Amino acid sequence: MLRRSRRYPGAPRTAMRFDSAAISPKDAYALLISTIVPRPIAWVSTLDAAGHSNLAPFSFFTGVASRPPLLCLSIGQRRVDGTMQPKDTLANIQATGEFVVNIPSAAQAGAVNQSAAELAPGTSELDALQLPTAPSVHVKPPRVASCRVQLECKLDQIVWLGHPATQALVVGQVLCFHIDDAVWSDALHGVDPLALDPLSRLGGKAFGTTGQAIELDRPDWLASGFSAAVARDKASK
């Protein structure tokens, strides 16, 4: 259990410090998910080798490259009959090399949470939750029709992480972007985050919504004279 630690030299009176070598993996996970927030949710649909569908949410998820467009998911394992086995999503991606990342909106929070339940292998969350699907163009797994953004992906590589290496970093190449007209912005030349209102994960049981966006122009250091000011500051030292 995480407890308030002693103050360390020079720290504010209210500061706490947790050395990762001194805490359990469970506590480290709790700190990760409560400090790295908000995290976008990849609602991943896959098919197993026999064609049975699966749907599960993952929040260790982000984009990592654009040439070609790549994204990654971090997928752990689960204990079955005393042994660690790949989660269905990972097993399906390993078997077929295909998956779809559906981006859920805040209105879909209940279904996203329900799809995280542990079901028997081969049991379809899409069927259990009665979620309508749409066919994909380049891959076999279906898309969640109610999601306003869907990314068809093929497996690029899997990198095993951890000690022991039980966490799979799945890197996928995005083959096709499906974007609902209702969330597209010509002015932004992309998706309007307020219109999409993507669901996110916070710490504990909490989920997050977009709420408010802040737009800031990227500064032009040369035009603002910043570079000259830095040069003058260096020259004065």
**CATH number of the domain bearing residue 187:** 2.30.110.10
Pick from 153, 156, 125: nearest CA to 139: 153
Q: Which of 42-51, 109-118, 218-227 has the lowest mean pLDDT?
A: 218-227
- The more confidently predicted of residues 17 and 146 is 146
Residue 25 domain flag: no
Pick from 85, 53, 58, 46: nearest CA to 169: 58
Asked whether the predicted pLDDT for residue 5 surpasses 60, the reply is no
Asked whether the predicted pLDDT for residue 31 surpasses 60, the reply is yes
Asked whether the predicted pLDDT for residue 231 surpasses 70, the reply is no
Residue 82 domain flag: yes
Asked whether the predicted pLDDT for residue 180 surpasses 70, the reply is yes
CA distance 97 to 139: 9
Q: Which of 30-44, 113-127, 129-143 has the lowest mean pLDDT?
A: 113-127
Residue 103 domain flag: yes
Residue 1 domain flag: no
Residue-level pLDDT at 4: 58
Residues 6+ apart with CB under 8 A from 170: 72, 73, 74, 75, 90, 93, 155, 158
* Mean pLDDT to the nearest integer, 29-53: 96
Tokens of 47: 């098919």
- The more confidently predicted of residues 168 and 12 is 168
Answer for the pair 100, 150: CB distance below 8 angstroms, yes or no. Answer: yes
Residue-level pLDDT at 79: 78
Residue-level pLDDT at 84: 80
* Mean pLDDT to the nearest integer, 125-143: 97
Residue 201 domain flag: yes
**Considering the chain, what is the average pLDDT of its residues?**
91
CA distance 100 to 112: 15
Q: Which domain holds residue 151?
A: 36-235
* Mean pLDDT to the nearest integer, 136-160: 98
Domain count, the chain: 1
Q: What is the pLDDT of residues 7-27, one digit of tens each?
A: 556 666 677 889 999 999 999
Residue 17 domain flag: no
Residue 139 domain flag: yes
Per-residue pLDDT band at 237 (split at 50, 70, 90): low
- The more confidently predicted of residues 232 and 119 is 119
Residue 19 domain flag: no
